[in-house]
Amino acid sequence: MLELQEMAARAGRGAAGGESAEASPGAAEQTGGEGAEAAIIQAEKFSLYYGAKAGVRDITMDVWPRSVTAIIGPSGCGKSTFLRSINRMNDLIPDIRAEGLLLVGGVDVYDPRANLVHLRQQVGMVFQKPNPFPKSVYDNVAYGPRLQGTRREELDGWVEQCLRAAVLWDEVKDAMHRNALALSGGQQQRLCIARALATRPRVLLMDEPCSALDPIATAKIEELIVGLKRDYTIVIVTHNMQQAARVSDRTAFFCLGELIEYDDTKILFTKPSRKQTEDYVTGRFG
Protein backbone atom coordinates (compact mmCIF):
# COMPACT_ATOMS: atom_id res chain seq x y z
CA MET A 1 0.00 0.00 0.00
CA LEU A 2 2.95 2.25 0.67
CA GLU A 3 3.82 2.06 -2.99
CA LEU A 4 0.33 3.04 -4.05
CA GLN A 5 0.42 6.06 -1.77
CA GLU A 6 3.80 7.02 -3.13
CA MET A 7 2.62 6.55 -6.67
CA ALA A 8 -0.52 8.55 -6.08
CA ALA A 9 1.58 11.34 -4.64
CA ARG A 10 3.91 11.23 -7.62
CA ALA A 11 0.94 11.34 -9.92
CA GLY A 12 -0.49 14.32 -8.07
CA ARG A 13 -3.50 12.49 -6.68
CA GLY A 14 -4.75 11.80 -3.17
CA ALA A 15 -3.47 8.86 -1.20
CA ALA A 16 -6.75 7.04 -1.62
CA GLY A 17 -5.69 6.67 -5.18
CA GLY A 18 -7.47 7.34 -8.41
CA GLU A 19 -8.47 4.53 -10.63
CA SER A 20 -5.15 4.56 -12.46
CA ALA A 21 -2.97 4.50 -9.41
CA GLU A 22 -4.94 1.59 -8.01
CA ALA A 23 -4.86 -0.33 -11.21
CA SER A 24 -1.24 -0.34 -12.04
CA PRO A 25 2.19 0.33 -10.65
CA GLY A 26 4.46 3.16 -11.56
CA ALA A 27 1.94 5.85 -12.51
CA ALA A 28 4.01 8.95 -12.90
CA GLU A 29 2.38 11.40 -15.28
CA GLN A 30 -0.31 13.98 -14.82
CA THR A 31 -3.57 13.14 -16.44
CA GLY A 32 -4.22 15.05 -19.59
CA GLY A 33 -3.81 14.90 -23.28
CA GLU A 34 -1.86 16.82 -25.82
CA GLY A 35 -1.72 20.47 -24.93
CA ALA A 36 -2.63 19.88 -21.28
CA GLU A 37 0.97 19.20 -20.27
CA ALA A 38 4.44 19.08 -21.63
CA ALA A 39 5.58 16.34 -23.96
CA ILE A 40 7.48 13.64 -22.13
CA ILE A 41 9.77 12.89 -25.06
CA GLN A 42 10.93 15.75 -27.23
CA ALA A 43 13.17 15.32 -30.25
CA GLU A 44 14.47 18.49 -31.86
CA LYS A 45 16.47 18.03 -35.06
CA PHE A 46 17.80 14.81 -33.57
CA SER A 47 20.17 12.75 -35.69
CA LEU A 48 22.09 9.61 -34.87
CA TYR A 49 25.03 8.49 -36.96
CA TYR A 50 26.67 5.09 -37.24
CA GLY A 51 30.12 6.28 -38.26
CA ALA A 52 29.46 8.52 -41.26
CA LYS A 53 26.06 7.02 -42.03
CA ALA A 54 22.94 8.59 -40.56
CA GLY A 55 20.63 6.10 -38.88
CA VAL A 56 18.06 8.86 -38.36
CA ARG A 57 18.30 12.47 -39.49
CA ASP A 58 16.72 15.69 -38.23
CA ILE A 59 13.90 14.05 -36.30
CA THR A 60 11.62 16.59 -34.65
CA MET A 61 8.67 15.12 -32.78
CA ASP A 62 6.98 15.26 -29.39
CA VAL A 63 5.55 12.26 -27.57
CA TRP A 64 2.77 13.01 -25.13
CA PRO A 65 2.42 11.40 -21.72
CA ARG A 66 -0.04 8.56 -21.25
CA SER A 67 -0.37 7.80 -24.89
CA VAL A 68 0.73 5.12 -27.31
CA THR A 69 2.89 6.32 -30.16
CA ALA A 70 3.61 3.91 -32.99
CA ILE A 71 6.58 4.20 -35.29
CA ILE A 72 6.17 2.53 -38.66
CA GLY A 73 8.24 2.41 -41.81
CA PRO A 74 10.06 0.03 -44.14
CA SER A 75 13.06 -2.00 -42.98
CA GLY A 76 16.13 0.16 -42.46
CA CYS A 77 14.13 3.39 -42.12
CA GLY A 78 15.55 4.15 -38.68
CA LYS A 79 12.54 3.42 -36.52
CA SER A 80 14.38 1.04 -34.18
CA THR A 81 17.41 3.35 -34.17
CA PHE A 82 15.20 6.19 -32.96
CA LEU A 83 13.46 3.99 -30.41
CA ARG A 84 16.75 2.73 -29.02
CA SER A 85 18.10 6.28 -28.90
CA ILE A 86 15.47 7.19 -26.33
CA ASN A 87 17.17 5.11 -23.63
CA ARG A 88 20.55 5.08 -25.31
CA MET A 89 20.57 1.39 -26.13
CA ASN A 90 22.58 2.32 -29.21
CA ASP A 91 25.52 3.16 -26.98
CA LEU A 92 26.51 -0.49 -27.24
CA ILE A 93 27.28 0.06 -30.92
CA PRO A 94 30.77 1.45 -31.51
CA ASP A 95 31.28 4.73 -33.35
CA ILE A 96 27.83 6.23 -32.89
CA ARG A 97 27.32 9.98 -32.72
CA ALA A 98 24.21 11.96 -31.81
CA GLU A 99 23.31 15.47 -32.92
CA GLY A 100 20.42 17.71 -32.00
CA LEU A 101 18.31 17.33 -28.90
CA LEU A 102 16.52 14.35 -27.43
CA LEU A 103 14.82 15.02 -24.11
CA VAL A 104 13.02 12.64 -21.79
CA GLY A 105 11.10 14.44 -19.09
CA GLY A 106 12.98 17.60 -20.00
CA VAL A 107 16.40 16.00 -19.47
CA ASP A 108 18.83 15.77 -22.37
CA VAL A 109 19.42 12.06 -22.92
CA TYR A 110 22.72 12.65 -24.70
CA ASP A 111 24.10 15.08 -22.14
CA PRO A 112 27.51 13.60 -21.22
CA ARG A 113 26.55 14.04 -17.57
CA ALA A 114 23.34 12.02 -18.05
CA ASN A 115 22.87 9.22 -15.54
CA LEU A 116 22.31 6.15 -17.70
CA VAL A 117 21.12 3.98 -14.84
CA HIS A 118 18.47 6.56 -13.98
CA LEU A 119 17.56 6.98 -17.66
CA ARG A 120 17.02 3.25 -18.16
CA GLN A 121 15.01 3.06 -14.97
CA GLN A 122 12.80 5.85 -16.36
CA VAL A 123 12.63 4.34 -19.83
CA GLY A 124 11.99 0.60 -19.85
CA MET A 125 12.26 -1.58 -22.90
CA VAL A 126 10.57 -4.67 -24.28
CA PHE A 127 12.22 -6.45 -27.16
CA GLN A 128 11.10 -8.38 -30.21
CA LYS A 129 11.76 -11.80 -28.69
CA PRO A 130 10.76 -12.44 -25.10
CA ASN A 131 13.97 -12.58 -23.08
CA PRO A 132 13.16 -13.57 -19.50
CA PHE A 133 16.08 -14.34 -17.23
CA PRO A 134 16.63 -18.05 -16.66
CA LYS A 135 15.17 -17.61 -13.20
CA SER A 136 11.81 -18.04 -11.56
CA VAL A 137 8.82 -15.92 -12.52
CA TYR A 138 9.10 -14.15 -9.17
CA ASP A 139 12.80 -13.44 -9.49
CA ASN A 140 12.40 -12.03 -12.98
CA VAL A 141 10.05 -9.33 -11.70
CA ALA A 142 11.87 -8.83 -8.41
CA TYR A 143 15.29 -8.45 -10.04
CA GLY A 144 15.12 -4.70 -10.72
CA PRO A 145 13.41 -3.68 -7.47
CA ARG A 146 16.00 -5.68 -5.48
CA LEU A 147 18.79 -3.76 -7.20
CA GLN A 148 16.93 -0.55 -6.43
CA GLY A 149 16.83 -1.52 -2.76
CA THR A 150 13.17 -2.32 -2.39
CA ARG A 151 12.62 -3.81 1.05
CA ARG A 152 11.96 -7.53 1.22
CA GLU A 153 8.61 -7.11 2.98
CA GLU A 154 7.39 -4.86 0.19
CA LEU A 155 8.67 -7.05 -2.59
CA ASP A 156 5.92 -9.68 -2.67
CA GLY A 157 3.19 -7.06 -3.00
CA TRP A 158 5.07 -5.16 -5.64
CA VAL A 159 5.77 -8.27 -7.74
CA GLU A 160 2.07 -9.11 -7.57
CA GLN A 161 1.09 -5.60 -8.65
CA CYS A 162 3.46 -5.68 -11.59
CA LEU A 163 2.21 -9.10 -12.71
CA ARG A 164 -1.37 -7.87 -12.38
CA ALA A 165 -0.54 -4.78 -14.43
CA ALA A 166 0.90 -7.06 -17.10
CA VAL A 167 -2.28 -9.18 -16.98
CA LEU A 168 -0.25 -12.25 -16.07
CA TRP A 169 -0.99 -12.68 -12.38
CA ASP A 170 -3.94 -15.03 -12.73
CA GLU A 171 -1.91 -17.34 -14.95
CA VAL A 172 1.22 -17.54 -12.76
CA LYS A 173 0.10 -16.86 -9.20
CA ASP A 174 0.32 -20.55 -8.33
CA ALA A 175 3.65 -21.05 -10.08
CA MET A 176 5.70 -18.08 -8.99
CA HIS A 177 8.79 -20.16 -8.45
CA ARG A 178 8.56 -22.02 -11.70
CA ASN A 179 11.30 -21.27 -14.24
CA ALA A 180 10.17 -18.40 -16.46
CA LEU A 181 11.49 -20.19 -19.53
CA ALA A 182 8.75 -22.78 -19.06
CA LEU A 183 6.07 -20.18 -19.82
CA SER A 184 4.55 -19.82 -23.29
CA GLY A 185 5.94 -17.16 -25.64
CA GLY A 186 3.05 -14.80 -24.97
CA GLN A 187 3.36 -15.29 -21.20
CA GLN A 188 7.12 -14.73 -21.38
CA GLN A 189 6.57 -11.44 -23.22
CA ARG A 190 4.05 -10.27 -20.62
CA LEU A 191 6.53 -11.30 -17.93
CA CYS A 192 9.12 -9.10 -19.63
CA ILE A 193 6.61 -6.25 -19.56
CA ALA A 194 5.98 -6.89 -15.85
CA ARG A 195 9.75 -6.89 -15.32
CA ALA A 196 10.03 -3.58 -17.13
CA LEU A 197 7.20 -2.10 -15.03
CA ALA A 198 8.87 -3.25 -11.83
CA THR A 199 11.49 -0.50 -11.96
CA ARG A 200 8.72 2.13 -12.11
CA PRO A 201 9.50 3.60 -15.51
CA ARG A 202 7.71 6.60 -17.01
CA VAL A 203 8.15 5.40 -20.57
CA LEU A 204 7.99 1.91 -22.08
CA LEU A 205 9.71 1.31 -25.40
CA MET A 206 8.52 -1.72 -27.35
CA ASP A 207 10.45 -2.95 -30.33
CA GLU A 208 8.11 -5.20 -32.32
CA PRO A 209 6.87 -6.87 -29.13
CA CYS A 210 4.45 -9.21 -30.91
CA SER A 211 6.44 -10.27 -33.93
CA ALA A 212 7.35 -13.61 -32.34
CA LEU A 213 3.88 -14.31 -30.97
CA ASP A 214 0.80 -16.09 -32.26
CA PRO A 215 -2.43 -14.12 -32.89
CA ILE A 216 -3.96 -14.91 -29.49
CA ALA A 217 -0.84 -13.89 -27.57
CA THR A 218 -0.60 -10.82 -29.82
CA ALA A 219 -4.17 -9.84 -28.99
CA LYS A 220 -3.39 -10.10 -25.26
CA ILE A 221 -0.30 -7.91 -25.58
CA GLU A 222 -2.26 -5.36 -27.63
CA GLU A 223 -4.99 -5.26 -25.01
CA LEU A 224 -2.30 -4.85 -22.37
CA ILE A 225 -0.70 -1.95 -24.26
CA VAL A 226 -4.02 -0.14 -24.48
CA GLY A 227 -4.59 -0.68 -20.75
CA LEU A 228 -1.08 0.42 -19.76
CA LYS A 229 -1.37 3.79 -21.45
CA ARG A 230 -3.52 5.01 -18.58
CA ASP A 231 -0.32 5.17 -16.56
CA TYR A 232 2.59 4.99 -18.96
CA THR A 233 3.86 6.53 -22.12
CA ILE A 234 4.41 3.82 -24.68
CA VAL A 235 6.40 4.05 -27.87
CA ILE A 236 6.08 1.00 -30.08
CA VAL A 237 7.89 0.05 -33.24
CA THR A 238 5.93 -2.35 -35.38
CA HIS A 239 5.92 -3.74 -38.88
CA ASN A 240 2.30 -4.65 -38.45
CA MET A 241 0.38 -1.60 -39.62
CA GLN A 242 -2.95 -2.96 -38.43
CA GLN A 243 -1.42 -3.31 -35.00
CA ALA A 244 -0.19 0.30 -35.10
CA ALA A 245 -3.67 1.37 -36.15
CA ARG A 246 -5.32 -0.65 -33.39
CA VAL A 247 -3.20 0.30 -30.40
CA SER A 248 -1.73 3.74 -30.97
CA ASP A 249 -3.00 7.27 -30.54
CA ARG A 250 -0.40 8.82 -32.81
CA THR A 251 1.73 7.30 -35.52
CA ALA A 252 5.06 8.42 -36.95
CA PHE A 253 6.07 7.25 -40.41
CA PHE A 254 9.81 7.02 -40.97
CA CYS A 255 11.52 6.49 -44.31
CA LEU A 256 15.25 6.47 -45.12
CA GLY A 257 16.09 7.82 -41.68
CA GLU A 258 13.69 10.75 -41.85
CA LEU A 259 10.38 11.44 -40.21
CA ILE A 260 7.98 11.81 -43.10
CA GLU A 261 4.68 12.26 -41.30
CA TYR A 262 3.53 12.28 -37.69
CA ASP A 263 -0.16 12.58 -36.95
CA ASP A 264 -3.15 11.13 -35.17
CA THR A 265 -3.28 7.46 -36.03
CA LYS A 266 -6.81 7.70 -37.39
CA ILE A 267 -5.78 10.44 -39.79
CA LEU A 268 -2.55 8.77 -40.84
CA PHE A 269 -4.34 5.56 -41.79
CA THR A 270 -7.36 7.14 -43.47
CA LYS A 271 -6.13 10.33 -45.10
CA PRO A 272 -2.41 10.82 -44.73
CA SER A 273 -1.18 14.18 -45.96
CA ARG A 274 2.01 12.90 -47.62
CA LYS A 275 2.03 10.80 -50.76
CA GLN A 276 4.93 8.72 -49.42
CA THR A 277 2.90 7.81 -46.34
CA GLU A 278 -0.11 6.89 -48.43
CA ASP A 279 2.02 4.69 -50.68
CA TYR A 280 3.46 2.93 -47.64
CA VAL A 281 0.24 2.33 -45.70
CA THR A 282 -1.48 1.07 -48.85
CA GLY A 283 1.40 -1.32 -49.54
CA ARG A 284 2.48 0.38 -52.76
CA PHE A 285 6.05 0.53 -51.54
CA GLY A 286 8.10 -0.77 -48.63
What is the C-alpha separation between 253 and 267, in angstroms, rounded? 12
Nearer Cβ to other proteins (60/282): 282
| Residue 98 contacts residue 46 (beta carbons within 8 Å) | yes
As measured in angstroms, the least distance from the Cβ of 212 to other proteins is 21
- Letters for 199-238 (x = contact with other proteins by CB under 8 A, - = none) are ----------------------------------------
DSSP per-residue codes, 194-253 = HHHHTT--SEEEEESTTTTS-HHHHHHHHHHHHHHTTT-EEEEE-S-HHHHHHH-SEEEE
Nearer Cβ to other proteins (105/272): 272
Question: Binding segment for other proteins among 57-65, 126-134, 202-210, 278-286 (CB under 8 A)?
Answer: 278-286
What is the C-alpha separation between 267 and 43, in angstroms, rounded? 22
Quick check: 282 binds other proteins (CB under 8 A)?
yes
Quick check: 264 binds other proteins (CB under 8 A)?
no
Nearer Cβ to other proteins (39/70): 70
Nearer Cβ to other proteins (71/125): 71
Q: Contacts with other proteins in 63-102 (CB under 8 A)?
A: none
Half-sphere exposure of 81 (CA within 13 A, CB side): 27
Residue 75: phi and psi, rounded to 5, are -55, 140
Between the alpha carbon of residue 205 and those of residues 33, 71, 230, 250, the distances in Å are 19, 11, 15, 15
- For residue 275, what are the contacts with CB-CB under 8 A and spacing of at least 6? none
Per CB under 8 A, the list member of 130, 144, 209, 272 interacting with other proteins is: 272
Per CB under 8 A, the list member of 28, 90, 269, 276 interacting with other proteins is: 269
Question: Binding segment for other proteins among 4-12, 122-130, 213-221, 268-276 (CB under 8 A)?
Answer: 268-276
What is the C-alpha separation between 69 and 229, in angstroms, rounded? 10
Binding site for other proteins (CB under 8 A): 241-242, 245, 269-272, 277-278, 281-284
